[in-house]
Amino acid sequence: MTAVHRAVLEAGGPVLQFSRPVLDSGLASEIPVIVNLFGTAERVAAGLGVSLDRLDELGAFLAALRSPAPPEGLRDALSRWPMLKAALATRPKMVKTAPVQAVVREGAVADLSKLPVQTHWPRDAGPLITWPVVITRPHGSSPQDLSCCNAGVYRAQVLDRSRLIMRWLPHRGGAAHHRSWVSRGAKMPVAVVLGADPATLLSAALPLPETVSELTFAGALGGARPRMVPCKSVPLMVPADAEIVLEGWVSPDETAPEGPFGDHTGYYNPAEPFPVMQMSAVTHRENPLYLSTYTGRPPDEPAIIGEVFNRLALPTVQAQIPEIRDLWLPPAACSYRVAVVSIEKRYPGQARRVMMALWGMLPQFSYTKMIVAVDADADPRNWDDIAWVLATRMDPSRDVMILENTPMDYLDFASPQPGLAGKIGIDATTKIGSETTREWGRVMRGVAEDQAFAADLVARLMPELGA
């Protein structure tokens, strides 16, 4: 299934449904598997409730959520009506019955082996749930207070018929909530939502401000109040219209080795201990669908989502660092390990200041180990432009900045120590003022009128030339 999925994704193909997936037992599952839901940027944008050409508007909305300016009079308030309307739509609607609880299995009959969870790569440790929306809340909070809840996409290894391993990294919301329960020696309620609507799933993956709930923000994306229902066996609320929900409790002290699994780096990550969830119930629709994906060296669905999120993040970045014109995180570099940033340069040392600001701005950039700064006349998404400015505007003895012992993704096998590594900043901008003592070269550019005439002439001649 993974091989078929990858081939279709690389061809820009459609969403796939495997109607009769084969379980480990050799029997066919009655639950179809859906893959490649986010296999194109257009489908990712649609999941966010917009078209590709409106991503910049959504990015501006996200930037405003982080630092909204107060309305200045009635005219300004009316101009912000789309934002206000979206905010009003985020109030959840609590329901008592829901499609996701049409079938309820609690206790011993809650069996994970009935689900068509894929084993994706030959050396994977076992079946891996790849698109779960994991819902948690801090100790002492109310289940109905969604503003306290966290929804994150963390992979979950199936350990046996009633246990999962929750792989949440220390800086993620789920891990922070778990620590609040561990500090009191208590087990934590968890709900794993499988087959959430695209807006909820993408909201759980978005780097939203800490003050914005992923569950309520999904309502802003979908333009409707999210419908939530109480779980059957744990004190949590879950999306009423999801396909499947796994309910259970995460131990304050029990862990199990998770992995190895093929990861987004293109390598198998080593096994490491993570908390264990004891399942207490499974609920699902009458005829549920199981949403799945694979994770591997790009291209994959997370990399495609990452490209869209890159565009969404640009207005937030520009609000903090106004001289930035564009920013690209190449998918081939794991979507975050390398960044190319173009700036409107005005003073000496500006490129270094921008690079340092990026590393310290968002937690996501703390794992970016290389930043290349270029001028606004270079396209940061064009490898030819990047190679040209590196070759003509960068001197290794002057324009390379090295940092030591900084935070790093522990999956980076190149780092000397897990979780701790160096960073490199490369200033490939034109050197001005005190940055150089010699006359700088002038970029060759043709006359605009000549270039336009030539382009028109060639366009008319090429068909006659049989080309």
Q: Which residues are catalytic?
A: 263
Please check whether residue 90 is in contact with residue 61, taking contact to mean a CB–CB distance below 8 angstroms. Answer: no
**Torsion region of 406: left, alpha or beta (phi above 0 gives left; psi -120 to 50 gives alpha):** beta
Please check whether residue 123 is in contact with residue 268, taking contact to mean a CB–CB distance below 8 angstroms. Answer: yes
If one counts every other C-beta atom within 10 angstroms of the C-beta of residue 420, the result is 14
Omega of the bond leading into 260 within 30 degrees of 0 (cis): yes
Residue 169: name the closest of 157, 152, 192 by CA.
152
Q: Which two tokens stand for residue 127?
A: 């079946």
Q: Is 259 exposed, middle or buried (0-12, 13-18, 19+ CB in 10 A)?
A: buried
Residue 237, helix vs strand vs coil: strand
Q: Which two tokens stand for residue 341?
A: 């940033």
Query: H or E stretch including 104?
Result: strand 103-106
Q: Which two tokens stand for residue 419?
A: 């979780």
Tell me the torsion sign for CA atoms 413, 205, 132, 20: negative
Write the CA distances from 434 to 347, 369, 409, integer angstroms.
9, 27, 36
Q: What's the one-letter identity of residue 130? A: T
If one counts every other C-beta atom within 10 angstroms of the C-beta of residue 51, the result is 11
Please check whether residue 5 is in contact with residue 293, taking contact to mean a CB–CB distance below 8 angstroms. Answer: yes
Task: Find residue 103's DSSP bridge partners.
Answer: 284
Residue 131: name the closest of 46, 226, 222, 36 by CA.
36
User: In terms of DSSP bridges, do strands 338-343 and 370-375 run parallel, antiparallel, or are they unpaired?
Assistant: parallel
Residue 340: name the closest of 298, 373, 364, 317 by CA.
373
Counting DSSP H helices and E strands in the chain, the numbers are 12, 22
Gap between the Cα atoms of 268 and 266, Å rounded: 7
Q: Which two tokens stand for residue 403?
A: 């940092």
Cβ neighbors of 140 (< 8 A, separation 6 or more) are 180
Cβ neighbors of 207 (< 8 A, separation 6 or more) are 309, 313, 362, 363, 364
